[in-house]
Amino acid sequence: MEIAIISDTHIPSRASQIPAPFRERIERADHVIHAGDFDSKGTLANIRDLAAELTAVAGNMDPPVGLPDVATVELGGVEFVVTHGTGSRRNYERRIADIVIENTTSDDPVGVAGHTHELLDTRVDGVRLLNPGSVTGASPASEASMLVATVSDGDIDVTVERR
């Protein structure tokens, strides 16, 4: 199973569209995880149209669209806990790891967060943390980026895609 992991689209406030190669990658994925900051109801609707299945959370720049602050989904034997990561850059990784720990039943959870627009793949207290950066390259990102996770039987392999 392939999962497109994206965040921080910021359309229309900071970007006009998701780069075409990323849109195509999102359409091909079995599941899409979006860690917030769609920026508009229209962007959320467009991502829903692209995604075969979508797990999404609200970001600090999103209008009220009924998305949760935290979502948990099991895909290919891997439990993902998704949150935006709103707050200061200070203690960001610790804050996200704590949210994951509070919302998981897994011994090996994967946390997905955005907010900083910076790529991240690290471990904190046994929790793997992923941040795909900004899929549109919205400021302050220096490039557009996303992650693609391949999951099967509880194993996960993550690759970075950049534009």
Domains in the chain, CATH or no CATH each: 2-162 (3.60.21.10)
pLDDT in tens, 69-107: 999 999 999 999 999 999 998 999 999 999 999 999 999
What does the mean pLDDT of the chain come to?
A: 96
Q: What is the pLDDT of residue 160?
A: 98
Q: Which residues contact 49 (CB under 8 A, 6 or more apart)?
A: none
Secondary structure letter of residue 55 according to DSSP = E
At residue 141, φ and ψ (nearest 5 deg) are -65, 150
Q: What is the pLDDT of residue 157?
A: 98
pLDDT in tens, 41-80: 999 999 999 999 999 999 999 999 999 999 999 999 999 9
Q: What is the pLDDT of residue 14?
A: 92
